[in-house]
Amino acid sequence: MSDALPPETTIATWTIPRVSGDPLTIDSAVGEVITVVGANGAGKSALATYIAGQTPTGKLHRVLAQRKIWFAASGPNISASGREQMVNNLNYWNTAIDSRFLDHADGQRTDITLFDLLGKIAAEDQRIAELVLTERRTPEEIEAIIGTRLFDVLNSVLEKAGLVIRVKITDKQTFMAVHRELGNEYPIAQMSDGERSALLLAAEVLVAPDNCIILLDEPERHLHRSISAGLVEALIDSRTDCAFVVLTHDLDLALGLSARPGKVLAALGVNWSENTIAGWDINEFSTEADLTENARRAILGGRKRILFIEGTTDSLDYALYSLLFPAWTLSASGNCEWVIRSVEGIKKTQSHHWVDAAGIVDGDGRSQQERDALITKGIHPIKVSEVESLYYMPAVLTAVATKFTQLDGKDTEQRVCAAKAAGIAALASNQGLHRIAKKLATDEVSRKLVTAVPSEITDPKITFNLPSPYAEIRARLDELHAGDNYEELVRIASIRDSAFRDRVAAALGAQSKEQYQSVARRAIAESPALIAELRLEVADQLFDRSDH
């Protein structure tokens, strides 16, 4: 680019009004990317319009979110004079307040993009002809002056995005798509929606003026997720003379862009006063913070209260905690270690974000001292051994039995008694109490070994002397079993590794444990009292902080 600005040159500075009353000042510099992440309705397109209106004329190239991706012909349907007449209109429409949802030039933008692409290619060809015929330059000199040909850049970008097509120009000044593997050709008007969207987005960026700010509003729209991130990053690499502003709700794209020089902003919402914006709920996020990927995703997703839990979004944890803590945004983090790391990372980096975080992990037989240590870190061990146990607490058991009784008229109390007896028998069968005691003892010793490891090790041999808790745990289990103490057995036993759930579900009349658990969630959702009781089994302090 002949007029390229030096690196980090600021093209524009924007002062964004915020609902907090403290404006956010942002510089847009060459070689940097400002990434704005937010859900639909968070004010991203309104922010794009505001930025367009605050940028010097000629220094911003805007690609609208509601861009049209179809065209009737495979070449520009506009004349040079028509293109010239559109310049002022486009500058006005791109900054108009209704451009956040309306494109006044939707019938012309694709033609203009194709026209400008052809024009840039023709100008490049003309310059090469001058270098060859007039200045008698060698091929090496021409390559040094021109650099990579624009058309080669375009096809390289499409390839890096994972598309199997390249584009070529016919002698009639139209564009053809060529399948890289099969070799068949077809007019670009016949490309798929994703291919057309990728081509037009790439062309829009490549024909943008030198040293400008390229504003991409939801570039992932009309693109498959496997394509969008690679395409956008390849386009940014192709225009190192420009600054970029990317507004997106694609967290994968945002995470990739966050590794580049620039800033990441999370938009949570926008306040309007009639047709005027009063301010955005928007904050800057430091990408240097020591955070797990789950924590980064939650923060970039614009969440204010994040509850990290074990398991996946398909697990029993997620389904139950969604009912118990609706005021929190859940983030399934896999195992206990990752829950702890995510919460600790967020709490240690409060100055880099604006969210509140907590975690829930299984009880796993932890001592009160272990529980208290985790709670001080914002991690709440549930009061039962594992999340499955919550589904089979007596109050839930009774609620589910009542549901089945409403269908067949059988006695609810008898149903509950039979289910409890079946559960107790299942835990004790086939040396079940021995296995439960062995697991609880092993878990307890494992945790004690971790805490017993010295901070510095210099001796050639280290000896650990830990008493086995097995006998005490087994005696307690035998006592509970002899007393038919269903509730306490459910609290401390690992029921997921036994026939307990299947036997209890069958005794109640359920076809499977999955059906029982589904009915249990429905019963919980319909009972505020049951929700309150289970919340207290999960986390007293978390319940106190929840909106309810």
pLDDT by position in tens, the chain (length 548): 444 555 558 999 999 999 888 899 999 999 999 999 887 778 888 898 899 889 988 899 988 866 777 777 788 877 777 777 777 667 656 666 666 666 656 667 788 888 889 888 888 888 888 888 888 888 888 888 888 888 899 999 999 888 889 999 988 888 989 998 888 899 988 888 888 889 999 999 999 999 999 999 888 887 877 788 889 999 999 999 999 999 988 878 888 888 899 988 888 888 888 778 888 888 887 766 666 766 666 666 666 788 999 989 888 999 999 999 988 888 888 888 889 988 888 887 766 666 788 999 998 878 888 888 889 888 999 999 899 999 999 999 999 999 999 888 888 999 999 999 999 999 988 888 998 889 888 888 887 787 777 778 888 888 888 888 899 989 999 999 999 999 999 998 888 878 999 999 999 989 999 999 999 999 999 999 999 999 999 876 655 544 44
**pTM, to two decimals:** 0.62
CATH 3.40.50.300 domain locations along the chain: 10-285
Class assignment of domain 10-285?
alpha beta
Are 384 and 390 a contacting pair, CB within 8 Å? yes
CA-to-CA separations, 164 to 70, 154, 204, 253, in angstroms, rounded: 19, 13, 20, 21
Buried b (16+ CB within 10 A) or exposed e, 28-54: bbbbbbbbbbbeeebbbbbbbbbbbee
State how far the Cα of 115 lies from the Cα of 118, in Å rounded to an integer: 5
State how far the Cα of 205 lies from the Cα of 197, in Å rounded to an integer: 12
462 Cβ neighbours under 8 A, 6+ residues apart? 454
- Count CB neighbours of 85 within 10 A: 11
Angle between helices 500-508 and 412-428 (to 10 degrees): 160
348 Cβ neighbours under 8 A, 6+ residues apart? 290
State how far the Cα of 311 lies from the Cα of 230, in Å rounded to an integer: 30
